[in-house]
Copies of this chain bind each other. A is one copy, B any other.
Amino acid sequence: MTTRPARPARLGDVASEAGVHVSTVSRVLNGSDDVSVRPETRTRILETARRLGYRPNAMGRGLKLATTGSLGLLVPSLRNPVNSPIVRGAFDRAWARGFVLVLAEDPGDDHAAEDAYGRLVHEGRIDGLLIQSARLGNPLLDDFAAGIVPCVFLDRRHPGSGRNVFMRDGDAGCLAAEHFLALGHERLALLGGPPELDTVSRRKAGFLERAGDTVAVEEAGLTERGGFEAMTRLVGGPKQPTAVFVANISQAVGALAALREAGLRVPEDISVLCHDDDPICEFLDPPLTAIEMPLVELGVAGVDALIGQIEGEPARDVVLETPPAIVERRSTAQAR
């Protein structure tokens, strides 16, 4: 490893070392191969740049090009576990395509969202925004949807924006219902998430479509406590279900606790199916049957769509082709 100089090399350093003008260096460094420079000059410049470890300064370049090489990632709340596979997919793809990811949090209140907008978009820190937030009805989102800045709504649709990247959540709901029906269950229940979440409501719609409207529904926050309380209500009801579809893994852990407390056995007394597969599912009691969604792929697709917009392609909705899949473990069984 060469010793690193105190100050990173500038274009001017490369130019003087190579005995040419900065503009020439700039041209060979990021011009296409067809820029006319004498081959030996080109070689000399390339070699010098490499030797000095030259990298263009992002500020200088950005100022000139009105481009940052950064993408903003607006997540709902760092308080809730960020859906890490999505972030990972997005991060990896962005990095691979030469972009860096800037974190922002949508803290709920409009004032703060306004602030995030200002800091990122308005100060010119990013080229585009990945919005995983999107409480429906936030006026700020309408601005984004209108296309002020390249943006995509990730895992949430903003109706009419034409910038939505999402999964087949409706199909996940159908799949869950079909799984239960195939096992002979007749009293199904849905332990759903907050209905204002787009994914949650599409999943619900899919589930109800297949399962019919006799399904018992309880909705709660996507937390252990939410799952615990909703499940307690569900089994305390008049028509106790024999199979329940739970909105996420946190809820499922809480739901399992509620069932334990109610003295109900899984899957003997009640089958539990969890949305989103996770390593933890395998180690719960009993190991949870789950629906696996293409989360990493979603992050990747979101970034690709965003960069597409940045490069001038027209915005469009994209729904991932990869279908939801059941990962069978031991928490669901034949009705008896």
Beta-carbon contacts of A102-124 to B below 8 Å, as 1s and 0s? 11110000000000001110111
Contact-residue size bin, chain A (C-beta under 8 Å from the other chain): 35 or more
In-complex Cβ contact of A123 among B55, B92, B257 (8 A): B55
Asked if A143 is an interface residue, CB under 8 A from chain B, the answer is yes
Q: Which residue of B lies closest to A80 (CB)?
A: B84
Beta-carbon contacts of A238-276 to B below 8 Å, as 1s and 0s? 000000000000100110110010000000000000000
- Residues of B contacting A148 in the complex (Cβ-Cβ under 8 angstroms): 4, 6
- B-contacting 9-mer, from A28-36, A173-181, A278-286: A278-286
Asked if A308 is an interface residue, CB under 8 A from chain B, the answer is no
- Residues of B contacting A62 in the complex (Cβ-Cβ under 8 angstroms): 59
Counted per complex, copies of this chain come to: 2
Asked if A38 is an interface residue, CB under 8 A from chain B, the answer is no
Asked if A182 is an interface residue, CB under 8 A from chain B, the answer is no
Contact A53 B122 (CB under 8 A): yes
Bound: A70/B119 CA distance, A: 11
Query: Can you list 14 A-B pairs with a CB-CB distance of less than 8 A?
Result: A4-B143, A53-B122, A58-B123, A92-B105, A100-B104, A100-B119, A102-B102, A224-B283, A225-B283, A253-B284, A254-B283, A257-B283, A257-B284, A260-B285
In-complex Cβ contact of A57 among B57, B123, B256 (8 A): B123
